[in-house]
Amino acid sequence: MQTVDTVIIGAGVVGLAVARRLAASRQVVVLEQERHSGEHLSSRNSEVIHAGLYYPPGSLKARLCLEGNERLYRYCLTNRIPHSRCGKLVVAGAGQEDALEALYHNARDSGADGLELLPRATLANEEPWLNATAALLSKHSGIIDSHALLQQLAMDAENRGTLLAFRHRGQHVHCTPGDFELTVESDDGPFKLRCRQLILAAGLGNVPLLHQSLGFPAHAIPEQRHARGNYFSLHGRSPTQRLIYPLPEEHGLGVHLTVDLAGQARFGPDVEWINVDDPPDYRVNENRHTAFVESIRRYWPRLEAKRLSPSYAGIRPKLFFNEQPVRDFLIQTEQDHSLPGLINLLGIESPGLTAALALAAQVEALQG
């Protein structure tokens, strides 16, 4: 049985960022069950670079989003990854002004900057198509080519000696402190692999793998539910080149307008709860069309319904302990599971893409 220093399960944006970070000081193997990197959460999102508006001050999401925002823009410039610091407007309708101001103060308390509250008159001049009484402008929000980011991270990791093993699925882990024995399924059949450090960055697959891990305490495994986010694209010219968001809702940021790097607009994601035991189904639920139109017309009343068509969908992991939602990233270490050498990255949905480079630095600090 081969033994390596570090195994990372999952070659999404976070797993690759961690591999790139750690490979300079140790032998790293990344196991990825798919044929390519980032086929799930990392490539099925809004491709937005977030600026830390929504998360409670002092939370991991707030801190790592802000740090990740700075790191990601620098990384894009250094490596010529297509991106745009296009800015974002979070818009308020009649009666929502207090909630918008509360969001502004939350963002400021979290350390976000580049923020400005815009009155109706300014919006009427700059974005006359919008139905809004006020808006919060975030100048440091932007968009990125997530596929180009994944390719660059993978290339960096491999150039530093990382072995990326695609079509290799971790099926079972025997956990003992500082020693982890993995059963890996590959196209050539199953085999055993041993490591001293194990980092779980498998996105939707993390919680199911924990249930197949001997020696991992059951009390530390959260319940995972799945929320599909549907996206619809807009035919024709976009009314803006900014990102337009409504105020956030309980389990998401609302059906928002994003533009890609070609200037084309799309809307989403919504929140559609699906059966967690079913295989991931990335087909857009076309029955959501009417609800999309209704949501969008709250801030764009003149939207023509026929201009929307199904685009793509993603699935987000939503974690719960004792029926209570886990709102923050969940990074489990030895103090949570009594297994030195194991770092478990759970619930890394939005703003995980933005925070990926900061998460990698956090993992390196925890691993020592």
Altogether, the residues listed in the chain come to a count of: 368
**Dihedral class, residue 161 (left if φ above 0, else alpha if ψ from -120 to 50, else beta):** left
Distance, C-alpha 328 to centroid of its chain:
12
pLDDT of residue 254: 86
Q: Which two tokens stand for residue 31?
A: 């196991």
Residue-level pLDDT at 367: 81
Phi and psi (nearest 5°) for 157? -60, -45
Percentage, residues of the chain above pLDDT 70: 99
CATH 3.50.50.60 location in the chain: 2-46+148-222+326-367
Distance separating alpha carbons of residues 313 and 280, to the nearest angstrom:
10
Average pLDDT over residues 141-164: 97
Q: How confident is the model at residue 106, as a pLDDT?
A: 97
Q: What is the pLDDT of residue 368?
A: 65
- pLDDT value at 1 more than 80: no
Q: Give yes or no for a contact between 15 and 8, defined as CB atoms under 8 angstroms apart.
A: yes
The DSSP symbol for 297 reads H
* Structure confidence at residue 246 (pLDDT): 95
Residue 144 has pLDDT above 90, yes or no: yes
Using an 8 Å Cβ cutoff, are 248 and 212 in contact?
no
d(CA 63, CA 71): 12
Note the CATH architecture for domain 85-141+224-321: 2-Layer Sandwich (3.30)
Angle (deg, nearest 10), helices 146-159 and 13-22: 30
Question: 282-314 in b/e burial notation, b at 16+ Cβ within 10 A?
Answer: eebeeebbeebbebbeebbeebeeeebebebbb
Calpha distance 2→168 (Å, rounded): 15
| Tokens of residue 253, six digits | 């940021």
pLDDT tens digits, 264-274: 999 999 999 99
pLDDT at 252: 75
CATH class of 2-46+148-222+326-367: alpha beta
Per-chain mean pLDDT for the chain: 96
What's the rounded Cα separation, in Å, for the pair 129 and 205? Answer: 42
| Residue pair 68/14 in contact by the 8 Å Cβ criterion | no
pTM, two decimals, is: 0.95
At 285, the pLDDT band (50, 70, 90 cuts) reads: very high
Q: What is the pLDDT of residues 215-258, one digit of tens each?
A: 999 999 999 999 999 999 999 999 999 999 999 877 678 899 99
Report the alpha-carbon distance of residue 7 to residue 201 in Å, rounded. 10
For the chain, where do the domains classified as CATH 3.30.9.10 start and end?
85-141+224-321
What confidence tens digit (pLDDT) does each residue in 34-80 have? 999 999 989 899 999 999 999 999 999 999 999 999 999 999 999 99
